[in-house]
Amino acid sequence: MAHDVVREAMVGYRQLVELNFPAFGDAMGLFSMLPVRVEGLVLRAENNEDPRVGLMLALHPDTGKVDDVASQVDLSVVVKDHAAEGWKFAERQRSMISIHLSRAHQRFSRSAFGQNRMQVLDLPLHVPCLASSLAYGWLTQDLIAVRWLDADFRFSE
């Protein structure tokens, strides 16, 4: 389910920017990173009593794809030892990002307002439209970065 939510959120985000900010797409941090390959962890409790679910995502450039938003979404579920698994994932991703940057000698994002390539998000399972919620959250972050929204603005599902 999380795989589909992340993929649909990426598609929804792109559509939001293209429809509402067509002249400013490259100024939007996440939009300027597209297309991306997404790797991540789905962090959930071992028992089903705790309904919280977290996402740890790494966004990697996929310059081989032109029309695709997220060419590949690869998520693994972690139910034990979130801290250790999250730390290992983050370290591995940071290494991959720095290797890519040193080889490419260029910015990943076409925007000075690029979003962080490593993201830790809550997956709000209580929201009926999870993908839309994530898409609007990313758009909110971009609008804050370009100062079209106040920094203390909080998107609420």
The confidence score (pLDDT) of residue 135 equals 93
Note the pLDDT of residue 62.
79
Q: Which whole number is the average pLDDT over 15-26?
A: 91
Which of the two residues, 55 and 72, has the higher pLDDT score?
Answer: 55
Residue whose structure tokens are 């990943």: 108
**Cβ atoms 24, 139 nearer than 8 A:** no
Q: Is 15 helix (H, G, I), strand (E, B) or coil?
A: helix
pLDDT tens string 56-101 = 999 887 777 666 676 689 999 998 888 888 889 988 888 776 655 5
pLDDT value at 51 more than 50: yes
Mean pLDDT of the chain: 82
Q: What are phi and psi of 6, to 5 degrees?
A: -65, -45
Global confidence as pTM: 0.80
Confidence at residue 40, expressed as pLDDT on a 0 to 100 scale: 94
